[in-house]
């Protein structure tokens, strides 16, 4: 609990405020280098610590940061002309260099020395590893930049991203120092059965009320939360605060990643979150595009999608999920999959910290034992802010080496002193294999139906969230809507061949015809333009959760063959090779509820079937493609509105033949998706993924036991005959064939 005066002291950051003056003693990450990509490019509005500033890059590559109001009569330099080594105000042409000197004053007489007396407020900038830093403090010679590991290692080893948080900086920082919320907000619905016994995750979900210790450090504060682990040991998670706004959290379960987070005040009620990490593998991101939190547990994966940046003071790095749409909370997911129903760790944190209001009134707090790190850090911040007022330099400002810190999860003997024992593992610029618990070192693929189901829960969340994503369907968009292993890749090749004239210029077919629900896992945004028009997507979503308003090519396949093909696809790739027998897979996944990540074959078929007589849909059977590929290619071309000649159709059909696709197998083996799934589940990258099989019709009659065949027939009768009226798949196929002939 804080008094209103204390709360103001901690949260107000404008010029002249104690906290604002404290922060101005340090270098501040101001913007990404990529935001000023070109010399003499357009200036950029930037608000920092409540000051409206204009950033620009000169012809020699230097970065200038000037107060936005021109010192002449206050016109905004945002409209300025970026000319050579300075920014020229468009009102009367006064020009200022990066130091704020007026270097040209065309409205004054030629012999006037007035320009020498006029200065724009300017802050020095420097760039390191993709970040533009600025110093807004009083020193003539700024202090050194802090030795932050992810900002010092070669840029190809590191990853930086930023995101707007619409609340005061301190309540965002409080979230990083509050170790207790991990086991509830993020992992509250994860049960011990869903994680590997003996892993960090396991200890986290088996004890949601860990013990806490907190100490002061030379550079801030440090907290250790501890849980009982195996054989008189404890699992410790180390959190650190570094002046003035950095948080080091133990990333994920391994403690092997260097991660620095910064909460930089834009003004009193907005904050820019900075995430700098090494290595970048846990967060497969593309700058300015889709990003994802990827931890291998249900509820922790989700989209972190960005709206396009605007030139507004608050228009940079805004997320699509925000208060206006309740952060896309999904009550069904909340009930069945994750604790919150909100997709991903970042969005969960954003929702709760912003839900407190722009500046939370801390007079009404009731802090508990798990809030000790927050309490101590606030005290340190208030003390430092008052010290600066008294002329005392704040912690670590002149000691960049103090920032060579990491936080880590580590197993320690019960008798160990947590501070001493973690001194080594906290050192930056080193590797610490000793910090990884044995159970986490080798994550294997699931080997039982139960393990497969647990992994599927995670995928289910990815799939479920996909249906709720903000996506602008265009009426010309084509969705290849199939149940898994029913000819999707084949149809992707046909559609792409038809729209490009047979181009094979791609690394993997799903990089040019994106897998709609999996695209963000691959670091791509399905809403992006594609290499050719019309846009085309593959999706396994049911119709009720798939994007509406497009055109749909539904490929159907005999359920028995789909089952066999799916099993062979999964075996050795998504489950340990041969650990699960095909008939067990049939009973435990294909025939059972809820089925795989995309649900059940039967629900999928029933959901799309009502479209089969509609103009915006084309229904094709896998077996027809085997029988007469040229005819199917011609039908798809007509559906796409193409007036293609025979030679062209022949080319596309030839490139969609099994022989041709097999010869170009590396372009169809789905490696990007496999790698993304391995990263998601933190396991070594897998075996060669052979996606193309010969696709023999009737394969299931040899591959499945008589009992499984009977179960398939019984399920067909119960699920499909009873609702759609077709006694068998062959009957349904004959119905479609007769329609196609009309």
List interacting residues with ligand FES (CB under 6 A).
70, 72-73, 75, 89, 91-92, 94
Find the shortest distance in angstroms from Cβ 218 to ligand FES.
Answer: 46
Q: How many helices (H) and strands (E) does the chain have?
A: 24, 24
How many whole angstroms separate alpha carbon 326 and alpha carbon 350?
Answer: 11
Q: Which is nearer to ligand FES, 77 or 190 (CB)?
A: 77
Strand partners, 238: 224
Q: Alpha carbon 359 to chain centroid distance?
A: 27
Cα dihedral across residues 708, 711, 715, 721: positive or negative: positive
* Of 76 and 473, CB closest to ligand FES: 76
CB proximity list for 549: less than 8 A, separation 6 or greater: 473, 474, 475, 477
Distances in Å between the alpha carbon of 521 and those of 276, 304, 526, 611? 20, 11, 11, 29
> CB 76 → ligand FES: shortest distance, Å?
9
| Cβ at position 102, least distance to ligand FES in Å | 9
Three-state DSSP class for residue 264: strand
**How many Cβ atoms sit within 10 Å of the Cβ of residue 419?**
14
CA distances from 556 to 329, 382, 564 (A): 33, 66, 15
Q: CA-CA distance, 194 to 680, in Å (whole number)?
A: 15
Residue 370 beta carbon to ligand FES: minimum distance, rounded to whole angstroms: 53
**Residue number, 112 or 694, with CB nearest to ligand FES:** 112
Residue 300 DSSP class: S
Strand, helix or coil for residue 479: strand
Where would I find the H helices in 664-705? 671-680, 700-703
How far apart CA 245 and CA 248 sit, in angstroms, is 10
**Closer CB to ligand FES, 75 or 740, in the complex:** 75
C-beta closer to ligand FES: residue 73 or 666: 73
CB of 110 to ligand FES, least distance (A): 17
- The nearest distance, CB 73 to ligand FES, in angstroms, is 4
CA atoms lying within 13 Å on the CB side of residue 86: 18
φ and ψ at residue 553, rounded to 5 degrees: -110, 110
Give how far the C-alpha of residue 732 lies from the chain's centroid of Cα atoms, to the nearest Å: 41
Closest CB to ligand FES among residues 71, 484: 71
Minimum distance from residue 40 beta carbon to ligand FES (Å):
19
Contacts of 39 (CB under 8 A, 6+ apart): 57, 58, 59, 60, 61
Looking at beta carbons only, is 75 or 630 nearer to ligand FES?
75
Nearer to ligand FES (CB atom), residue 89 or residue 618: 89
The Cβ-side half-sphere exposure at 707, using a 13 Å CA radius, reads 5
Question: At closest approach, how far in Å is the CB of 223 from ligand FES?
Answer: 50
Residue with Cβ nearer ligand FES (92 or 683) = 92
Output 122 or 554, the one with its CB closest to ligand FES. Answer: 122
Tokens 């000169």 belong to which residue? 58
Tell me whether residue 105 or residue 480 sits nearer to ligand FES (CB atom). 105
Of 118, 128, 125, which is closest to residue 53 (Cα–Cα)? 125
Cβ at position 101, least distance to ligand FES in Å: 14
Looking up tokens 């067909």, which residue turns up?
A: 716
Instruction: Give the 3-state DSSP-derived string for 702-735, with helices as H, strands as E and coil as C.
Output: HHCCHHHHHHHHHHHHHHHHHHHCCCCHHHHHHH
Tokens of 441: 């070192």
Q: How far is the CB of 105 from ligand FES (least distance, A)?
A: 8
The distance of closest approach from Cβ of residue 104 to ligand FES in the complex, given in angstroms and rounded to an integer, is 10
**DSSP per position, 521-542:** GGT--TTS--SSSS-EEEE---
Please, which residue, 95 or 165, has the CB nearer to ligand FES? 95
Which residue, 54 or 677, has its beta carbon nearer to ligand FES? 54
Between 91 and 726, CB nearer to ligand FES: 91
Nearer of residues 72 and 654 to ligand FES, judged by Cβ: 72
By beta-carbon proximity to ligand FES, the closer residue of 92 and 654 is 92
Residue 93 vs 467, nearer CB to ligand FES: 93
Smallest separation, CB 283 to ligand FES (Å): 43
Cβ 116 to ligand FES shortest distance, Å: 16
Q: How far apart are CA 259 and CA 318, in angstroms?
A: 22
- CA distance readout (Å), 394 to 23, 445, 732: 9, 50, 76
Q: How far is the CB of 95 from ligand FES (least distance, A)?
A: 9
In the complex, the smallest distance separating the C-beta of residue 56 from ligand FES, rounded to whole angstroms, is 15
Smaller CB distance to ligand FES: residue 78 or 94? 94
**What gap in Å lies between CA 680 and CA 675, rounded to an integer?**
8
Please provide the distance, in angstroms rounded to a whole number, between the alpha carbons at the two ends of the chain: 76
Assess whether the previous peptide bond of 244 is cis (omega < 30° from 0): yes
The single-letter DSSP state of residue 281 is: G
Please, what is the minimum distance in Å from the beta carbon of residue 42 to ligand FES? 18
Find the shortest distance in angstroms from Cβ 79 to ligand FES: 10
Distance of CA 324 to the CA centre of its chain: 20
Share of the chain residues as helix, strand and coil, in percent rounded to the nearest 5: 35, 20, 45
- The 10 Å CB-count burial string (b at 16+, else e) for 27-43 is bbbbbbbebbeeeeeeb
Q: How far is the CB of 27 from ligand FES (least distance, A)?
A: 29
Distance CA 340, CA 329 (A): 7
User: Which phi and psi (to 5°) does residue 723 adopt?
Assistant: -110, -45
């Amino acid at each position: 609990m804080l008094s209103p005066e204390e709360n103001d002291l901690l949260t107000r950051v404008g010029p002249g405020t104690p906290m604002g003056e404290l922060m101005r003693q340090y270098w501040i990450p101001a913007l990404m280098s990529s935001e000023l990509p070109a010399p003499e490019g357009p200036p950029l509005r930037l608000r920092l610590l409540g000051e409206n500033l204009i950033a620009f890059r000169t012809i020699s590559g230097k970065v200038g940061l000037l107060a936005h109001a021109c010192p002449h009569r206050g016109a905004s330099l945002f409209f300025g002309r970026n000319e050579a080594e300075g920014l020229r105000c468009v009102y009367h042409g006064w020009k200022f260099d990066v130091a704020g000197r007026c270097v040209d004053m065309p409205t004054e007489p030629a012999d006037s020395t007035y320009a020498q007396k006029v200065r724009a407020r300017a802050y020095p900038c420097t760039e390191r590893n993709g970040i533009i830093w600025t110093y807004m403090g009083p020193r003539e010679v700024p202090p050194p930049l802090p030795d932050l590991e992810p900002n010092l290692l070669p840029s190809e080893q590191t990853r930086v991203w930023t995101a707007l948080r619409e609340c005061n900086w301190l309540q965002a920082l409080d979230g990083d120092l509050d170790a207790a919320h991990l086991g509830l907000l993020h992992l509250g619905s994860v049960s011990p059965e869903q994680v590997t016994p003996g892993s960090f995750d396991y200890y986290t979900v088996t004890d949601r009320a860990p013990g806490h210790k907190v100490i002061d450090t030379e550079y801030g504060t440090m907290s250790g939360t501890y849980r009982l682990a195996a054989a008189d040991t404890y699992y410790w998670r180390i959190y650190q605060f570094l002046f003035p706004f950095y948080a080091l959290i133990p990333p994920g379960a391994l403690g092997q990643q260097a991660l620095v987070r910064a909460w930089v005040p834009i003004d009193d009620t907005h904050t820019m979150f900075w995430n700098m990490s090494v290595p970048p593998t846990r967060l497969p991101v593309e700058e300015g595009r889709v990003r994802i939190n990827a931890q291998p547990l249900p509820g922790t994966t989700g989209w972190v999608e960005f709206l396009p940046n605007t030139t507004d003071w608050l228009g940079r790095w805004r997320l699509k999920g925000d208060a206006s749409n309740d952060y896309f909370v999904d009550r069904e997911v909340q009930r069945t999959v994750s604790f919150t129903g909100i997709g991903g760790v970042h969005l969960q944190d954003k929702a709760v910290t912003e839900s407190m209001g722009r500046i939370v009134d801390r007079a009404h707090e009731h802090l508990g034992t798990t809030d000790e790190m927050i309490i101590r850090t606030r005290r340190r911040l208030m003390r430092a802010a008052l010290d600066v007022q008294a002329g005392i330099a704040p912690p670590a400002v002149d000691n960049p080496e103090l920032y060579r810190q990491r936080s880590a999860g580590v197993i320690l003997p019960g008798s160990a002193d947590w501070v001493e024992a973690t001194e080594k593992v906290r050192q930056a610029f080193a590797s610490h294999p000793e910090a990884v618990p044995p159970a986490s070192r080798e994550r294997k693929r699931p080997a039982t139906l139960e393990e497969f189901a647990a992994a599927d829960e995670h995928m289910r969340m990815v799939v479920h969230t996909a249906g709720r994503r903000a996506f602008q369907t265009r009426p010309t968009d084509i969705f290849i809507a199939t149940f898994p292993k029913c000819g999707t890749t084949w149809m992707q090749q046909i559609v792409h061949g038809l729209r490009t004239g047979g181009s094979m210029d791609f690394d993997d077919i799903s990089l040019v015809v994106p897998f709609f629900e999996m695209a963000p896992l691959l670091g791509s945004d399905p809403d992006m333009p594609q290499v050719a028009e019309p846009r085309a997507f593959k999706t396994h979503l049911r119709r009720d959760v798939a994007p509406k308003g497009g055109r749909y090519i539904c490929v159907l396949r005999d359920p028995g063959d789909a089952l066999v093909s799916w099993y062979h696809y999964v075996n050795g790739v998504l489950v340990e090779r041969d650990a699960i027998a095909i008939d067990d897979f049939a009973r435990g996944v294909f025939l059972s509820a809820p089925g795989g990540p995309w649900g059940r074959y039967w629900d999928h078929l029933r959901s799309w079937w009502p479209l089969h007589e509609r103009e915006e849909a084309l229904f094709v059977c896998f077996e027809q493609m085997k029988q007469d590929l040229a005819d199917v290619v011609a039908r798809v071309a007509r559906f796409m509105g193409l007036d293609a000649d025979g030679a062209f159709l022949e080319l596309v059909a030839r490139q969609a033949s099994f022989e041709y696709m097999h010869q170009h197998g590396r372009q169809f083996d789905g490696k990007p998706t496999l790698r993304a799934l391995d990263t998601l589940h933190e396991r070594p990258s897998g075996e060669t993924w052979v996606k193309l099989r010969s696709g023999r019709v009737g394969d299931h009659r040899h591959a499945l036991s008589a009992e499984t065949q009977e179960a398939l027939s019984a399920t067909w009768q119960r699920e499909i005959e009873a609702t759609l009226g077709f006694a068998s798949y062959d009957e349904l196929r004959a119905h479609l064939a007769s329609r196609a002939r009309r």
